[in-house]
A and B are shown apart, each in its own frame.
Chain A
Amino acid sequence: MSAASAREATPKLRFTAVAKEFVAPRTGKRTLAVTDVGLSIEAGEFVCVVGPSGCGKSTIMNLVAGLDAPTSGTITMDGRPIAGPGADRGVMFQDYALYPWLTVSQNIGFGLENGTPGRGLSRAERDARVRHFVELVRLKGAEDKFPHQLSGGMCQRVALARLLANGPDVLLMDEPLGALDAQTRLILQVELLRIWGETAPRAERKTAIFITHDIEEAVFLADRVVVMGTGPGRIRAILPIDLPRPREEGTRADPRFAALTKQVWELIRDDAYQAIG
């Protein structure tokens, strides 16, 4: 970490005493979704967030995306407070947010066609990029289907492809692989690491925040796992994952992998049992 010490002064993302409280418009009822969140994420870091349902994972993602503002505390990116959404932070929503009137290809190319990510790209370059990501998420043959004609797992892959096609610097993903079958999931985990920049030098990697319910997935992907708890939502623990990269099938056989997975499970077990009563 000594090489990174020069940059440590300004991490890619920094949360300082962040809290978010929701106030219901009519009743005025208050829900403290998250509180006391402090966290620094270096550029090029892959951070997984795990925690029981309702602990505020999506809330935190929306704050980083700039779709919501914290009630107190600050979130900065490259040292500057986050003022609103921007294409530098790509978001994959938990419920996909696909456009029902557009085909698979058109959904994947939506940001390239209409937003900042497509700036400076020719028609042919955009089309090639869409085709590339259609193939990456294994949707070849379904390009011209509409979302209502797809399975849940296919919709999820469209949303993932749309995020990646936009090529954002920061990837914000809310359970991006949760609806997939086990095999596709393993394949896309490895692909995702490749796109993030696992084999590239650290300075060229993207920064990723990846929310998941799957502890093994979190350990497999992450540089650090953030474990959250409920009542109100807060960070329980932050676990560095010092497994070697690139990670591959063999990683899961590493005894440290099993130990880390067990450690994360122990951290969230009590909350998880509480959540189901």
Chain B
Amino acid sequence: MANSLAPSPSIGLRSVPLTIWRAIALPLLLLVAWQLWAMGLPADTRAPSPAKVLAGFVRLTLAGDLPLALIQSIGRVVAGFLIALVLGLSLGLAMGRIRWVRDGLEPIVESFRPIAPMAILPIAILFLGTGTPAALSIVAYAAFFPLLLNVMHGVSRVDPKLVLAARTMGVPPLRTFTHVILPAAMPSVLLGSRLAMGSAWTAIIAAELAVGAKAGGGTSGGIGQMMFVFYAYSIDLNGIVVCMIVVGVVALLIDRAFRGAERILVRGREAT
């Protein structure tokens, strides 16, 4: 803010902490209330409390269980997302630019789209077992549709004048594609990626929970499976809450990372 000529009152130096305070006041109040409520319960209760959850978080982190599960889950999300990115980008570009491809594929896409990722889980487990391939396919499936639809939409809405202008400058078709159509559609591609990553993360947790149930607490791994074990075997409510919070924080970080990438990549336009 040091170089802004006329700082507006709401973002002045003093009021920055104030906005942060406003953002954390309510969660803090709820935490305190929760802790007070838990302290009023009998000593041998299973009910989670903020203090116990924090202790659980430290224990799981130091033991290495939580980091390992997190790495497994994130690895699957990234891999599944990349599969969806390749498929969604190429199909979305083709469907957005080529009429007959769109006419041919739209009915199939539209009939699969309403089927929730969890609904293909039974088939995924039957064909791919309870390991990583099944989880990957669910993640890729979940990430595919937001990508496909946004890329298709973005590419078909590129201002035709921009393409015509390139043609009057003798720009060859492939180069027009990479230097006009793709950058013009970039905001939609990034938006699609962000939404896809969000649903991929949601899907992986659910998939690991379900795959974990089927594997009977076996070695499928990941945060979701960890939650299942806490639920079905050790009945560790504090551990479940730790996992929930970690899942939420990771989702938030993913979203922030993609928004940051959008700001950098979508040059020359107001970031959405």
Contacts and interface: CB of A to CB of B under 8 A. Distances in A.
B171 A99 contact: no
Interface in A67-126: 67, 84-87, 89-91, 93, 95, 97, 99-103, 110-111, 114-117
Q: Chain B CB within 10 Å — which of A66, A86, A95, A97 has the most? A: A97
A108 B162 CA distance: 14
Given A99-B180, A101-B184, A116 B170 contact: yes
Interface string B161-188: 1101111111100010001100110100
Given A67-B167, A103-B268, 6 more contacts: A66-B168, A67-B164, A89-B168, A100-B269, A111-B169, A115-B171
Contact of B268 (A89, A111, A148): A148
B267 interface: yes
B206 to A, nearest CB: 37
Nearest to B179: A114
Contacts of A87: 168-170
Nearest to A165: B169
Interface of A: 65-67, 84-87, 89-91, 93, 95, 97, 99-103, 110-111, 114-117, 146-148, 166
Contacts of B171: 111, 114-115
Nearest to B180: A99
B162 A97 contact: yes
B270 interface: yes
Contacts of B267: 101, 146
Contacts of B179: 114
Contacts of B82: none
B128 interface: no
Contact of B170 (A86, A103, A146, A147): A86
A147 B171 CA distance: 21
Given A89-B168, A111-B169, A148-B269, A99 B162 contact: yes
A118 to B, nearest CB: 9
A148 B269 CA distance: 7
Given A101-B266, A101-B267, A102-B268, A115 B169 contact: yes
Contact of A166 (B159, B169, B180, B270): B169
Contact of B169 (A84, A103, A117): A117
A114 B171 CA distance: 6
Per DSSP, chain B at the interface is helix
A86 B270 CA distance: 33
Nearest to A91: B168
A257 to B, nearest CB: 33
Contacts of A100: 184, 268-269
A117 B166 CA distance: 12
Contacts of B162: 97, 99
A99 B180 CA distance: 8
A148 B184 CA distance: 14
Contact of A117 (B165, B170, B269): B170
A99 to B, nearest CB: 6
13 contacts: A67-B167, A67-B168, A91-B165, A91-B168, A93-B164, A99-B162, A99-B183, A101-B184, A103-B268, A110-B169, A111-B169, A117-B169, A148-B268
Contact of B167 (A85, A99, A146): A85
Nearest to B186: A101
A90 B171 CA distance: 12
Interface in B5-49: none
A114 B168 contact: no
B168 A90 contact: yes
A111 B179 CA distance: 11
A117 B162 CA distance: 17
A151 to B, nearest CB: 16
Contacts of B164: 67, 85, 93, 97
Contacts of B167: 67, 84-85
Contacts of B266: 101
A147 B268 CA distance: 7
A111 B269 contact: no
